[in-house]
Chain A
Amino acid sequence: MAYIELKNVSKSFGSGKDRTQVLSNINLEIEEGEFVAIVGFTGSGKTTLINLISGLIQPDEGQVLFKGEPVNGPSHERGVIFQNYSLLPWLNVRNNVGMAVKEAFKKMTKRDRNNRVENYVDMVNLLPAINKKPKELSGGMRQRVSVTRALSMSPEVILMDEPLSALDALTRGNLQQEILKIWNKDKKTALLITNDVDEGILMADRIIPLKPGPKATLGPEYKINLERPRDKTALNHNDEYKKLRNSIMEYLIQIGEQRASKKETNYVLPEIKPLIKPATFRRMSFR
């Protein structure tokens, strides 16, 4: 039995004529301790997939199973790192993280909670900024806080919804390493959603492309057997990495083209004839 299992999951949004099926027939199995990356185009339903696994939304058809039990709602066991950080702007870093710790460990004493918050903030090197509000932090720092908030609850699974896509390349590289370092420490199960194939290869054990929506389904999976810890610069000269990268890119480009060609045929242009009324123009002119 897999740790996380999605069985024939479909999800639609809207109603009536506007109803679109975002995800259709998704089947996914993630083993305990595995790091899985899902790559896909923007708008292909990646966030919907994460929300389904975290329990924020429920599938229309099929089942989401976590440790064999169906997922009915969010739980502390599945920590989520949101794409847009979602820090509470009126709380400082300490309280943003502290709120999560307080909820996850209700019986802990106040002092232990404080220590835990400080330890986790220290883990991402933000101790000097612990009393600052989110608006005083840079994008990278904010995402670090968001990572800390998710991890401080000691979840069994970390769900990451494009956590690094809004950051610049340098910060992105640093945070990738930081997340990997933390993941390496206690080998938690992790699911990373990304639009960056390189990021996926660098971080994950397995990459699964998500075909673009509507009616998105998962593509064939790619195992990554590169040794850890992986070094970004060294990887660039690794033949296996190059091969893997090329085949995934090729696949993505191919399905991208399919979508583009499909779209073209869908458009039916209305017949429009130019409407010329010289009288109107004359009336509008200034006298």
Chain B
Amino acid sequence: MKDRSIHILNFVGLGFFEPAIRLATGEEVKKNLIGLFKKILLPILSISLFLILWHSGAAYLYNVEKSARIEKALSDRGETAALEMKTCIESGDVSCQPNTLPSPAQVWMAYKSLLADHRIITEKKAAFAEKVATTNAKREAQGLSLIEYTGRPSFVDQILTSLKTVFAGFLLALFIAVPIGIMLGLSPTLRSSVNWLIQIFKPVSPVVWLLLVFMIVKTLTRGSDADSAFIISFISVGLCSMWATLVNTSMGVSSVDKDYINVAKVLQLNVGQKVFKIILPSSFPLIFTGLRITLSVAWMVLIAIELLAQSPGLGSFVWEEFQNGANDSNSKIIVAMFVIGIIGFLLDRIMLTIQKFVTFTEETA
């Protein structure tokens, strides 16, 4: 049981819990205490240090902004206005708060309010669904489109939309880049003939891809009621992120160990068997490294693309909060930042686990 759980933890990349589990069963106390200190306590310490730095930095910026406001009131409207401003700020009134980097505590509050907001919206949705249930059933029977909830999406909804977009983009990249990569890897002629295309398009910025996709999709979806914002953003995400997989796949396929090729020759495998039994399995590690990079790039560019394409998701959430300028907008942006970071980390871990499942690790000795 214990060894099994340790094995699973190591497999999914959460191996730092290993000393804690070993310690819980009283195994090699001294060694595991050191392990616990190194792998768990030190990271906690560094996180606390980070929070302290953040907090004091935020406090400093707050004071700078505060004194600037008071001084401005003093020079513009005189001493009484300055005093008023000072008491207003110190009372914590929403109307006159300095707008600057929020402190960790404020961000935590914003996180809780976003969750509460999500709960309220979910309730509203449920109530709405109940209310229109009978009407919708009738409309369905008549073949009419259903009445959908059109209210504001909650933060969690935005996250889910973003994940949906990133997966659609990732799958698009997978289905384009892997087959093309294999073909390029197999044929040096094809590789050298399209190499210039790859080299030119690879460094193009996400924004330009978005505009390009916009030009094409806008024309193609003319007259249809497809969700063009979603289509545009997922295609752009796919196009931006597929290059790592494309290049890695073609490299993996073209650089298969000569020994394996010799084996294929000696066994007299035909072309199909050679590709599927020798070349693909041996290039799996590189293909998956490419896919991992693709997924992390996809997640990274997704935010920028949503921000520009005005398609719903975390990117547009950040942009709307920035435009909004409410008292807790800055804090909400920081919350989104952490959520984006943590989800990116989890996605990478998931890919790593899948990669370990399907590939072999070659021993160097």
A residues engaging B (CB < 8 A)?
A: 54, 56, 73-76, 79-80, 82, 84, 86, 88-91, 99-100, 103-104, 133, 135, 153
Contact = CB atoms under 8 A, between A and B. Distances in A.
B204 to A, nearest CB: 36
B262 A75 contact: no
Nearest to B277: A99
A76 B268 CA distance: 8
A103 B262 CA distance: 15
B38 to A, nearest CB: 29
B91 interface: no
Interface in B327-365: 359-363
Interface stretch (B243-251, B278-286, B291-299): B278-286
6 contacts: A74-B265, A76-B268, A88-B263, A88-B282, A104-B267, A153-B267
A82 B362 contact: no
B266 A88 contact: no
Contacts, number: 49
A138 B284 CA distance: 24
Dominant SS among interface residues on chain B = helix
Interface string B131-168: 00000000000000000000000000000000000000
A116 B244 CA distance: 44
Interface in B65-97: none
A74 B267 CA distance: 8
Interface residues of B, number: 19
- Top 10 A-B pairs ranked by shortest CB distance? A86-B259, A90-B360, A135-B363, A90-B281, A103-B267, A89-B360, A74-B266, A74-B265, A80-B266, A86-B263
Contacts of B284: 90
Given A89-B362, A90-B284, A82 B278 contact: no
Contacts of A80: 262, 266
A74 B282 contact: no
Nearest to B265: A74
B281 A82 contact: no
A160 B331 CA distance: 70
A89 B285 CA distance: 12
B269 interface: yes
B268 A75 contact: yes
B260 interface: yes
A86 B359 CA distance: 18
A78 to B, nearest CB: 8
A56 B265 contact: yes
Nearest to B269: A103
Nearest to A102: B267
A100 B266 CA distance: 9
